[in-house]
Amino acid sequence: MADTDNSDAFVAFERVQKSYDGESLVVKDLNLTMPKGEFLTMLGPSGSGKTTCLMMLAGFESATHGEIKIDGVSINNIPPHKRGIGMVFQNYALFPHMTIAENLSFPLEVRKIGKSDREKKIKRALDMVEMGDFGGRRPAQLSGGQQQRVALARALVFEPELVLMDEPLGALDKQLREKMQFEITDLAHNLGITTVYVTHDQTEALTMSDRVAVFDDGRIQQIDPPDVLYESPQNSFVAQFIGENNTMQGTVKQIQGKQCLVELDNGEEIDAAPVNVNKVGERTTISIRPERVEFNKERLHADAHTLKAEVLEFIYMGDIFRTRLRVAGKEDFIIKTRNAPDQRRLKPGEQIEIGWMPEDARALDA
């Protein structure tokens, strides 16, 4: 599922495997290429091997098998300090015994850059993250958000072409996180640097990235731009992991090109788009986004299949309404409707019929 075309690849993982204990693989057969300037996010649940991948790229872990290339050159035997990769750590790893300016000066000093050049670069980097006035402070004297900015500045000050970030916003509160998400992407695009960003927060991944690689169990489950990922998940893991999602189990009854008929476990039938199913009789999980469910009959095809549903709960959330239904014997079916003037508000106990465009219901692996 991962792309293997590496003609113009800047970063490339080729059949990379990693095992820490010699018994189990933490990263299983990873293939990944990134063009220059891309902002790629590795998204996945905790323990899925994202950090491990990043550490292998940075040189702190060695690949058990396979090759990692930057600019077409294998870096397996290059020590971390020669890779020239900027890195932002989850806990920022700002050196507590140095001031902010000294922290930024560190990568320049080890590169033997002259004092005046150093000062210029430090000032530029600090101004870039709007921390110009804080050069004389110590990390402990800064707030979490400020430390985050400094960590970013330090990773960028020596002008690396590749920057790695491991859950850099994990410790910030929601508002600050959103602000920083925007600033980081902005910076990355303006400077034209290639970024590998690790997170377990799907919103973050969707809003920031050019492409998102969804990790699970040491494998990339899907790698695509955010909209594709959201709208066309390739398997049920991705569908579940990204965004809210209603699932129903059933068996494929017919397949006709881009459309198939699925018999749900309670006997009702429904239209869906076949994604991971190939033949009649196969078990499948139907996945449908809550905002794609329609209960206004006029808006559905005349011959569309519909399901009976009972309203269990109506939740007013301001911009949207969230309604919980009993559908096909399951009580956790969610629909979302926009709070528009003509929008009907469903009442608990109401009996309705729901349906959707066949392409919005995706028949995935069971």
Partner 1 sequence: MSDVTDATTAKRGPTPDDGLRIADSKDSGPVLSADGTPLKKSLRRALRMEKLRALALIAPLLIFVMISFIIPIGEMLFRSVENQIVEDTIPDAVRELRQWDRDEDELPPEAVFEAMYHDLFTASEAKKHTRLGSRLNYEESGMSSLFRQSGRALDDLGDDYLDALEEIDPDWEEGTVWYEMMSGGEGAERDTELSSRVVGQISNLEETFLPDTDAFAPSQAISELLPRTAEAYTRFAVFEALVDERDITDRDPWENVYPALIADMKSADVSGYDGPHADMLRELKSNIDDFEAPNYKAAFAAIDEDWAAHETWATIKAHSVRYTNGYFLNAIDMKRTPDGAVSQPEDRQILVKLFQRTLKMSLIITGSCILLGYPVAWILANLPTGKANLLMILVLLPFWTSLLVRTSAWKVMLQQQGVINDTLVWLGLVGDDSRLIMMNNATGTIIAMTHILLPFMILPMYSVMQTINPSYLRAAKSLGATNWTAFWRVYFPQSIPGIGAGSILVFILAIGYYITPEIVGGTDGVFISNRIAYHISSSLNWGLAAALGSILLAVVLILYWAYDRIVGIDNVKLG
Ligand X SMILES: Nc1ncnc2c1ncn2[C@@H]1O[C@H](COP(=O)(O)OP(=O)(O)O)[C@@H](O)[C@H]1O
Could you list the residues that contact ligand X (CB under 6 A)? Answer: 20, 26, 44, 46-52
Closest approach, Cβ 52 to ligand X, in A, equals 3
Residues 200-239 as x/- pattern, contact with Mg ion by CB under 5 A: ----------------------------------------
Nearest to 262 by CA among 275, 276, 272, 247: 272
Among 60, 67, 244, 297, binds partner 1 (CB under 8 A): 60
With 0-12 / 13-18 / 19 or more C-beta atoms within 10 angstroms meaning exposed / middle / buried, residue 178 is middle
Among 51, 105, 236, 337, binds Mg ion (CB under 5 A): 51
Are 19 and 64 in contact by the 8 Å Cβ rule? The answer is yes
Q: For residue 55, count other CB atoms closer than 10 A to its CB.
A: 17
Residue with smaller CB distance to ligand X, 32 or 122: 32
Q: Is 80 in the site for partner 1 (CB under 8 A)?
A: yes
- 42, β-bridge pairs: 198, 213
> Nearest 5°: phi and psi at 55?
-65, -35
β-pairing, 194-199 vs 162-166, is parallel
- From residue 257, how far is each of 12, 115, 260, 273, 278 by CA, in Å? 36, 67, 8, 9, 10
Q: Tell me which residue has its CB nearest to ligand X.
A: 51
Closest approach, Cβ 55 to ligand X, in A, equals 7
Closest approach, Cβ 167 to partner 1, in A, equals 12
Q: For residue 275, count other CB atoms closer than 10 A to its CB.
A: 19
* Residue 182 interaction partner, one of ligand X, partner 1, Mg ion, none, beta carbon < 5-8 Å per kind: none
**Coil/strand/helix, residue 235:** coil
Q: Is 20 in the site for partner 1 (CB under 8 A)?
A: no
Residues 85-144 that bind partner 1 (CB under 8 A): 85-87, 89-97, 106-107, 110-111, 138-141
Are 361 and 270 in contact by the 8 Å Cβ rule? The answer is yes
Residue with smaller CB distance to ligand X, 46 or 351: 46
Residues 282-321 as x/- pattern, contact with Mg ion by CB under 5 A: ----------------------------------------
Distance CA 15, CA 81 (A): 24
Going along 137-203, which residue ranges are E strands?
Answer: 162-166, 194-199
Crossing angle between the packed helical segments 144-156 and 115-128, to the nearest 10 degrees: 130
Closest approach, Cβ 50 to Mg ion, in A, equals 5
* Residue 52 interaction partner, one of Mg ion, ligand X, partner 1, none, beta carbon < 5-8 Å per kind: ligand X
With 0-12 / 13-18 / 19 or more C-beta atoms within 10 angstroms meaning exposed / middle / buried, residue 232 is middle
Residues 144-203 that bind partner 1 (CB under 8 A): 147, 154-155, 158, 164
Q: Interface with Mg ion by CB under 5 A: which residues?
A: 51
Q: Interface with partner 1 by CB under 8 A: which residues?
A: 58-60, 79-87, 89-97, 106-107, 110-111, 138-141, 147, 154-155, 158, 164
